[in-house]
Structure 1
Amino acid sequence: MLEWSGFRHCACIAVDAQSYGSKNDRRQSEIQHDLPRLLDRAARGASLDRARWQIQRKGDEQLAVRPLDGTEPRLADDYIRHLVAELREYNAQRVPEARMRLRAVLHQGLVELAENGFAGSAVVATARLLNAQQLYDAMAANPDANLVQLLSEDFFRSTVAGGHTTLSAADFTHVTVRVKEYEASAWLRVPALGTAARAAHDPGAAEAEMPVAPVPGEPAADRSGPAAAGVAGDGAGIGAPHTYRADRINVTNVAGSVDARGAVFGFGSVGG
């Protein structure tokens, strides 16, 4: 476990299990035993060493602090992705009432190791962000999601906005968090939703990106939008994007999770 004296610039990683207080004694005990194990496994999957983190445990909640070392983008990206995968596997073996669902927050700032925990406004801000109403609302609005993620403005700008992750601003929703005396901007994401999260939060943007449907009988050259691209050809291949060819269908069966970022999927029907 890494130690330091005085205030140092640190990353703060906080998680909290949803609806812990409503569980019975045995379920609470199970969560307290399993949560550290899932966090450790997610960190190993992201090539992060939690053994070097200072960790404050609080039943269904953990606050981890570690000096900034350049691996912060992996916290926002790889660590959360592996944690989502661990939760998916864990919850697949349990009835809905026994699922573990987490709120996760990432922030950065000056932190000191104190006699009774951590000192510094960054730690207070992390605690406030973890209790943001937007996190609870996202949990309620997405009952199938096992995790919701919130990045502070500082953490978001130094990792995602800086182009250091596989994520982009479009994967998040900008929110203003108000908890007690704390008020600040933050960035909300529901990893399980992927790009669908953007449409849910910004219907206008989704509508603007919708390709223009072809008009029957209209020449392809006169069509606007992506539908007109690459139409020239003999109708047997890519040159005829609106031609349904049953003999060219490929079916792929996949078991387990798939990382399809950057992939393009096409859908068709026998009716055209």
Structure 2
Amino acid sequence: MDAQAYGSNNDRRQSDIQHDLPRLLDRAARGAGLDRAQWQIQRKGDEQLAVRPVDGKEPRLVDDYVRHLVAELREYNAQRVPEARMRLRAVIHQGLVELADNGFAGTAVVATARLLNARPLYDALAAHPGVDLALLLSDDVFRSTVAGGHTTLSTGDFSRVTVQVKEYEATAWLCVPALGALAAASHEPVAPEAGKSAVPASGEPAADRTERAAAGGVDSRTGISNEYRADKINVTNVAGSLDARGAVFGFGSVGG
């Protein structure tokens, strides 16, 4: 983990970040059922490198821990002016690590550091100023957790990127958890084939769909109206917890 734009803050704000960052990470881990007290942690001011044992909870690290961290950051930043927000770049990699005299040693550690400084992470935060965290998974982690079907995340939530930092070059997978597939799709758009127009999954050119929605028309194929009906809006309050990751809700009534 690394706090974005740490060096541009004054001394007091830098001290606050160093105080608050580990506490946010601890709370997120507890929420995900992980114990950071069992991890080896190398603290570097606005950055933390944590090494944890392979124990079968890797999908929980990729999925639940990141999700809880996004929630912690959202609550934290909601109480602060924009200039005092904390935004993080996060990387998850796996491999052999040695505890050395002045920290950690091993190619996995070097790879993690290079991934953390990858341009796609910086670009993602710059392109989406309203989000608090951008995540990069190494190819090994992505394939063994997300692509392997061991998380609630979809492969569509990620975009494939190439990381080139110093001597390091590798494939990695980028996700902006607050945006999901929207961010992944916008990061590496798929170019249409020669002689063909770009068509969304519905099979309808985007321009036609936009024009009809603006006009409040009705889709002749589905019977769905795009007209905005403020007088028909209802608010449903749900008591208790609700896990709606990746869900799309639609409620209506006959004639509504």
Shorter-chain TM range is 0.7 to 0.9
Shift of residue 248 of structure 1? 7.2
**1:45 aligned to 31, 46, 59, which one?**
31
* Shift in Å, 1:247: 9.1
Residues 1:266 and 1:202: Cα distance change in structure 2 (over 3 Å): farther
State the SS of the aligned residue for 1:260: coil
Cα deviation for residue 192 of structure 1 reads: 1.1
Q: CA RMSD in A?
A: 3.0
**More strand by proportion, 1 or 2?**
1
- Deviation at residue 204 of structure 1 after TM alignment: 5.1
> Partner of 2:60 in structure 1?
74
Match of 1:188 in 2: 174
Instruction: Report how far residue 67 of structure 1 moved.
Output: 1.6
Give per-residue Cα distances to partners, 1:66-116, cap 9 Å, x unaligned: 121100001111000000000000000100000000000000001111111
Which 5+ residue runs of structure 1 have no aligned equivalent?
1-14, 228-239
- Structure 1 Cα separation of the partners of residues 167 and 12 of structure 2: 36
Question: What's the CA shift string for 1:103-154, capped at 9, x where partnerless?
Answer: 0000000111111111110000000000001101111101001000000001
Shift of 1:251: 2.2
Could you tell me the TM-score, scaled by structure 1's length? 0.77
**Counterpart in 1 of 2:236?**
252
The change in CA–CA distance for 1:153 and 1:181 in structure 2 (over 3 A counts) is same
1:146-165 alignment, distance < 5 Å: 146-165=132-151
Does 1 or 2 have the higher relative contact order (CA < 8 Å, sep 6+)? 1
Over 3 Å counting, the alpha-carbon distance change for 1:243 and 1:57 in structure 2 is closer
Q: Distance in 1 between matches of 2:231 and 2:36?
A: 52
Structure-2 residue corresponding to 1:166: 152
> Unaligned 5+ residue runs, structure 2?
192-197, 213-217
Q: Deviations over 1:180-234 (max 9, x none)?
A: 00000000000111232244235559942236569xxx997xx4xxx3xxxxxxx
Q: Residue type matched to 1:103 in 2?
A: R
TM norm structure 2: 0.82
Is 1:59 the counterpart of 2:45? The answer is yes
Local SS of the residue matching 1:192: coil
The residue correspondences of 1:1-272 to structure 2 (distance < 5 A) are: 15-201=1-187, 203=189, 207-210=199-202, 212=204, 223=221, 227=222, 241-242=224-225, 250-252=234-236, 259-266=243-250
Moved more, 258-267 or 64-73: 258-267
- Cα separation, 1, equivalents of 2:242 and 2:219: 39
Q: Rate the CA distance shift 1:133–1:254 in 2: closer, same or farther, 3 A.
A: farther
Secondary structure of the residue aligned to 2:77 is: helix
Q: Distance in 1 between matches of 2:162 and 2:226?
A: 47
